[in-house]
Structure 1
Amino acid sequence: MIDLVRRTNLLVSLGSFAGLDGIWKLNADAITLDLRDATGEVLSNASRKWLRISEHFASFGGAEVFLAVDCSNIQSQLDAAVWPGISGVLLSGVDDESSLRSTSSRLEEMEGRRGIGNGSLEIIPVLQTAEAVWRVGEIIDAVPRIRQVVLDESSLARDIDIQPNLDIDPFVYARGRVVAESISRGIQPVGAPHPLSTLHPELTEDYLKAEGVRIKDLGFKGMLFHHANWVSPFNSAFSPGENLVGYYEEVRRLFAEGVARGTAAVPLGKRMIDVPVDEWAKAVLARSSSCKARDQQKLDAEHKLT
């Protein structure tokens, strides 16, 4: 399986004709153009050329480009904005598998109409309700287009009538369920766990990076957010750091030497290295290589413009 590197997904409003020409410089792994609150004018035939230009701008820096759409108005949103170069859709309003199957059928039809590779458009379901969290396994099993799933804790709080505060984390169960169900199926869980998505406090870059590491350690593989200044710290937080990479390179070297001597456990400082530790070292180093390759891919795309 190809290691998917989509650490940061920046959600950008398309509710107006605001300039988007610099969006590609933000270095996000993915950019999602939000059509959920777009006006009829934005979705009209007269605006479709502008939408395509916006999509091209978003992709200039090597970012994948997604469209945020809603089940309630999906056909007009797809007609207006699904063109070659789009990676897929971020789908809101999902409570069960039926909406996924319907959306997949619509995307298949759009792929045929617009000359897009069959089955290539992804669906990223957004879980916004208690029912969606409860049915997460059914939702991510519904269609083969799903590689990531988003837990929207802000919408979940509204659905269950919770007023979040910094002293209480009410989403421990929901978060754990989504992480466990998705990872067990090879799907990446994505989100912006409380308090980032619920209270939007004023945050420093150091705090954001520390929060990113905490969120990664909860099992999430990336973040979806609106704030451009979150991209850099979260790209860093979800990539293995150089110190960690150096440590696991040493783990692999020492373990290989031990195996050559006929032993499957060797000391490293006060710790013992055995087969599970070596396997984890392989995973960390592979993830580091994938992240570096993705960063180089974006850098190469940017250099083509200069």
Structure 2
Amino acid sequence: MTAAIQCPLFVPATRANLIPKALASGADAVIVDLEDAVAVDRKDEARAALASFLGEHPDARVHVRINTPTSGELDADLEVCRGHAGIAGIVAPKAESRGALERIASLGKPVWPLLETPAGILALAELTRVRGVERYSFGALDFAFEAGVTPDSDGGRAVLDHARYQLLIHSHAAGLIPPLESVFPDFQNVDRLHAIARRASDMGFGGMLCIHPAQIATVKKAFSPTEDELSWAQRVMEASRTNEAAFQVDGQMVDAPVLARARRILALN
């Protein structure tokens, strides 16, 4: 089920009244945010609002982004997550420590570490060994700040892509669900969002974090096969029924890896 989650949508815990709308928005999952979207002096209020919502909506299922291990808020966040079956998974920001992830994973809920720092990228070999880690996501804005790069410059994009490469390689090597691409803050720029999401899909990401319901349809379209891709995959599968081993489709050689790619494309439709 989680493998099909392509566009999770963030909702601030302090605006719990928006959670039902988010659940009905078409998002594949809703991430209730206790971290960046909540002011420091409103953390208790945010946890209380989340607990109240879950108590009033026992059938609802949400993920929760908790606070960092160094924030002083982690114990209280985990207590809320431990006490509610409606919390389907935990998003762990600024993941850098295997011990911290093991503590979060001990709750028995799937964990999505958020890679937002160079230290987190360097620790990936250790972090992927934590039982309970299901998939990673990338936090490009925080990573750019931590690394001191300009996000929208050629140099900045090169550094961010290097981090993406590491995240993808470690995720696939560990057999995890493909990671989620970072949020795109300009939710009104549909063309740019589609281009970024499509590029992430081509790179091997499994979806993209969303911050506004208006982004959902665009992200889903970008991560879905195009008509040309579907048509090619169907031709490959049809040819495979009457051919063995390697054969040609559209003048190109088809062997086992190409056949596997055609099956994957059709499975995404």
Query: Normalized against structure 2, the TM-score is what?
Result: 0.85
Residue in structure 1 matched with residue 208 of structure 2 by the alignment:
223
For the residues of structure 1 that align with 2:116 and 2:89, how far apart are their CA atoms? 19
Aligned match for 1:135, one of 114, 123, 143: 123
Offset of 1:155 from its aligned partner?
0.9
Q: RMSD of the TM alignment (CA)? A: 2.4
Provide closer, same or farther for how the CA distance between residues 257 and 3 of structure 1 changes in structure 2, counting only shifts above 3 A.
Answer: farther
Offset of 1:33 from its aligned partner?
0.3
Residue in structure 1 matched with residue 148 of structure 2 by the alignment:
161
Aligned match for 1:214, one of 162, 184, 199: 199
Question: Would you say the 8 A contact 1:140–1:149 is kept in 2?
Answer: no
Q: For each residue in 1:177-215, what CA deviation from the matched residue of structure 2 results, as whole angstroms up to 9, or x when unmatched?
A: 1111111111122122xxx64xx3465434422321111
Question: Would you say the 8 A contact 1:3–1:287 is kept in 2?
Answer: no
Offset of 1:256 from its aligned partner?
2.1
Code of the aligned partner of 1:50: F
Query: Normalized against structure 1, the TM-score is what?
Result: 0.75
Residue in structure 2 matched with residue 69 of structure 1 by the alignment:
66
Residue in structure 1 matched with residue 11 of structure 2 by the alignment:
12
Question: Would you say the 8 A contact 2:187–2:215 is kept in 1?
Answer: no
Offset of 1:50 from its aligned partner?
3.2
Other structure's SS at 2:23 match: helix
Provide closer, same or farther for how the CA distance between residues 272 and 85 of structure 1 changes in structure 2, counting only shifts above 3 A.
Answer: same
Which runs of structure 2 are paired with 1:1-306 in the superposition (5 Å)? 4-16=3-15, 18-36=17-35, 37=38, 38-44=42-48, 48-53=51-56, 59=60, 65-70=62-67, 71=69, 72=71, 73-81=73-81, 82-105=83-106, 107=107, 119=108, 121-142=109-130, 144-168=131-155, 169=157, 170-187=159-176, 188-192=178-182, 197=184, 200-201=185-186, 203-259=188-244, 264-288=245-269
Q: For each residue in 1:33-66, what CA deviation from the matched residue of structure 2 results, as whole angstroms up to 9, or x when unmatched?
A: 001235322334x87323544785xx4xxxx520
Offset of 1:235 from its aligned partner?
1.2
Question: Would you say the 8 A contact 1:55–1:65 is kept in 2?
Answer: no
For the residues of structure 1 that align with 2:266 and 2:187, how far apart are their CA atoms? 34
For the residues of structure 1 that align with 2:4 and 2:232, how far apart are their CA atoms? 22
Code of the aligned partner of 1:125: P
For the residues of structure 1 that align with 2:134 and 2:163, how far apart are their CA atoms? 19
Structure 1 alignment gaps of length 5 or more: 108-118, 289-306
Q: For each residue in 1:129-161, what CA deviation from the matched residue of structure 2 results, as whole angstroms up to 9, or x when unmatched?
A: 11111111211212x211111121111112122
For the residues of structure 2 that align with 1:165 and 1:103, how far apart are their CA atoms? 34
Question: Would you say the 8 A contact 2:14–2:45 is kept in 1?
Answer: no
For the residues of structure 2 that align with 1:285 and 1:160, how far apart are their CA atoms? 39
Residue in structure 2 matched with residue 113 of structure 1 by the alignment:
none
Provide closer, same or farther for how the CA distance between residues 55 and 172 of structure 1 changes in structure 2, counting only shifts above 3 A.
Answer: farther
Other structure's SS at 2:225 match: coil
For the residues of structure 1 that align with 2:19 and 2:261, how far apart are their CA atoms? 41
Structure 2 alignment gaps of length 5 or more: none
Other structure's SS at 2:231 match: helix
For the residues of structure 1 that align with 2:172 and 2:254, how far apart are their CA atoms? 26
For the residues of structure 2 that align with 1:14 and 1:97, how far apart are their CA atoms? 27
Q: For each residue in 1:233-290, what CA deviation from the matched residue of structure 2 results, as whole angstroms up to 9, or x when unmatched?
A: 111211223432232121011122122xxxx3333222222232212212222333xx
Q: How many residues align?
A: 257
Offset of 1:16 from its aligned partner?
4.4
Code of the aligned partner of 2:236: V
For the residues of structure 2 that align with 1:216 and 1:130, how far apart are their CA atoms? 23
Larger radius of gyration: 1
Question: Would you say the 8 A contact 1:209–1:233 is kept in 2?
Answer: yes
Code of the aligned partner of 2:237: R
